[in-house]
Chains A and B, each alone.
Chain A
């Protein structure tokens, strides 16, 4: 399909004097919007009371039905990122961000229509389908560009953008609650108007990103930046079709999958876990505050850990995530048994900061292994690990918890196996990380003679 002229990659090439620090805000703008998916839970209750208003009527949707919006959207995120990665590399960040804005905001508007008509399938199609494609496109759209603008600090640059995804949840959830309060009437939950308002505001912010982003001119290097002799002699340039046939790709796939699954282990159950382990000491309100602290840790970890990886190296950083993470996970049951609330919260915060760091550091790790050539597309394919973890992780965690509770165990005993399994998963990730070696030069892309 032809790309309109104003979206073409050639129109986005920066001049030699362009300020590269204008590019991260463009990426951040897109991620702040699509991160709304993590704040979707604030719609859960209103969506189950659209007809009953103050209670769920028999014809209202159930919570598991509404939950599928979220699962579908995350699945579609991974699928779209994997399928459209090459297209994203070809058309460039502006066209991709524009398409992401159309899909994500169109998805929100379609969801609003679905809510208005009380059609669950339209809601799934809107948020899970169209919106999910927007999520995938938006997520990978700035990665390749940022890495090319910041060859000296790729971890920091991509960490900044991916931090936006964590921040988007905080903006989306708080703004949605406020908007629903404004639009709520005696006969309406205010969901439709809220979704439409979000669609319009997000569309504006995503377009701001699309029209601010620039790709660096050919041969760009920041002032004073000199590639090492090895990098100059054998620049790494692995295409997406070769990359995903290498063991390194699949090792990183498992690394990401383990990291995400383990993080979800705490995030999914943070509120009930805190209340049940510290029964009588942590109220539902305090548990919500605990969840808020974990969100902040997730946000800050994305930026701080990925920036640190520029100094520590990617392999070392992931080794810290996995070793320290496994050790901390394994101490959580003991802290629960000892009723050390403060230490429990602190450990959980560190664990979740590393979960966020794992997401944000992976693009730079891919750049190190496969080069910047098609790193956005390779990242897109790797995100299928996230989709798998998002589906499988919570299922495993909930299943184990239910089994323990059915066996009559309560409090920390209901959660300890889950936490130990998560620690073991991190050790699997550690082994895979340690097995990662540089990609053999036979996989490097060679230009076809013309």
Chain B
């Protein structure tokens, strides 16, 4: 008899012992920093402007 499948993500698929965050191989470290910076900078700009306006308006 097969095990019942579950709609719980971890039960069905796939959760074995999840490792702690994997260290990036050193040759990709610079690329990781660069790519995340490119996307997080504009996001930070949008969030900052939104918070600034929200605070100014509530003040």
Interface residues of A, Cβ cutoff 8 Å to B: 17-22, 25-26, 28-29, 32, 151-155, 164, 167-175, 205, 208, 212, 222-231, 233-234, 236, 285-286, 288-290, 292-293, 295-296, 299, 309-311, 313-316, 364-365, 367-369, 436-439
Chain B interface, number of residues (Cβ within 8 angstroms): 42
Which residues of A sit under 8 angstroms from B6, Cβ to Cβ?
313, 438
* Chain B residues with CB below 8 A from A314, complex form: 7-9
Give every chain B residue within 8 A of A173 (Cβ-Cβ). 46
Chain A proximity of B4: nearest CB distance (Å):
7
Interchain CB contact under 8 A, A154 and B57: no
- List 10 interface pairs A-B (beta carbons < 8 Å), by A numbering: A22-B31, A22-B32, A152-B18, A170-B46, A230-B3, A231-B13, A234-B2, A296-B47, A367-B13, A439-B5
Partner of A154, one of B9, B11, B16: B9
Quote the shortest CB–CB distance from A110 to chain B (angstroms).
24
Bound together, the chains give a CA A173 to CA B56 distance in angstroms of 17
- What's the least CB distance linking A272 to chain B, in Å? 16
Chain B residues with CB under 8 A of A25: 35-36, 38-39
Do A227 and B50 touch (CB < 8 A)?
no
Q: With A and B bound together, what is the CA distance between A311 and B15 in angstroms? A: 10
Give 10 nearest A-B pairs by CB, closest first.
A226-B16, A313-B8, A170-B46, A224-B19, A289-B57, A438-B5, A171-B46, A19-B28, A292-B54, A289-B54
B8 in contact with A170 (CB, 8 Å): no
The docked-state distance in angstroms from the alpha carbon of A288 to that of B56 is: 10
Q: Given the known A-B contacts A226-B17, A289-B54, A292-B53, are A236 and B5 also in contact in the complex, defined by CB atoms under 8 Å?
A: yes
Q: Is the CB of B8 within 8 A of A316?
A: yes
Asked whether B7 lies within 8 Å of A171 as measured between CB atoms, the reply is: no
Give 15 A-B pairs besides A438-B4, A438-B5 with Cβ atoms closer than 8 angstroms. Answer: A22-B32, A25-B36, A25-B39, A32-B39, A171-B46, A175-B45, A230-B3, A285-B57, A292-B53, A296-B54, A299-B47, A310-B9, A364-B9, A438-B6, A438-B12
Which residue of chain B has its CB nearest to the CB of A433?
B7
- For B20, give the chain A residue with the smallest CB separation: A224
Pick the contact of A167: B3, B17, B18, B47 (CB < 8 A).
B47
For B49, give the chain A residue with the smallest CB separation.
A174
Using a CB–CB cutoff of 8 Å, the interface residues on chain B facing chain A are: 2-19, 22, 24-25, 28, 31-32, 35-36, 38-39, 42-43, 45-47, 49-51, 53-58
Q: Select one of A19, A167, A289, A290 contacting B24, CB under 8 A.
A: A19
Q: Is the CB of B13 within 8 A of A151?
A: yes
Least CB distance, A174 to chain B, in whole angstroms: 4
Q: A25-B39, A151-B14, A368-B9 are in contact. Are A171 and B45 (CB under 8 A)?
A: yes
Which chain B residues border A222 with CB–CB below 8 Å?
Answer: 19, 22
- Taking a contact as CB atoms closer than 8 A, the residue among B10, B19, B31, B38 that contacts A313 in the complex is B10
| Closest A residue, CB atoms, query B3 | A230
Contact A289 B53 (CB under 8 A): yes
A168 to B50: give the CA distance in the assembly, Å.
Answer: 12
Instruction: Decide if A208 touches B13 in the complex (CB within 8 Å).
Output: no
Given the interface pairs A289-B57, A313-B10, A368-B8, the reply to whether A167 lies near B36 with Cβ below 8 Å is: no
Known: A174-B49, A292-B51. A155 touches B12 (CB 8 A): no
- CA of A26 to CA of B32, assembled, Å: 11
Cβ A436 vs Cβ B10 within 8 A = no
Nearest to A438 among chain B residues (CB) is B5
In the assembled complex, the CB of A47 is this many whole angstroms from the nearest CB of chain B, namely 21
Which residue of the partner chain B has the closest CB to A201?
B42
Chain A hits for B16, CB < 8 A: 152, 224-228
Interfacial chain A residues near B46, Cβ < 8 Å:
167-175
Q: Are B9 and A289 in contact (CB under 8 A)?
A: no
Q: Is the beta-carbon distance between B53 and A368 smaller than 8 angstroms? A: no
Chain A residues whose CB sits within 8 angstroms of the CB of B53 once the complex forms: 288-289, 292
What are the residues of chain A within 8 A of B36 when measuring CB–CB?
25
Which chain B positions have C-beta within 8 A of A295?
50
Q: Is the CB–CB distance between A227 and B13 below 8 Å?
A: yes
Our pick among B7, B17, B42, B57 for the contact of A438 (Cβ within 8 Å) is: B7
Contact assessment for A208 and B2 in the assembled complex, using a CB-CB cutoff below 8 Å: no
Report if A228-B11 is in contact (Cβ < 8 Å); known contacts: A29-B39, A164-B39.
yes
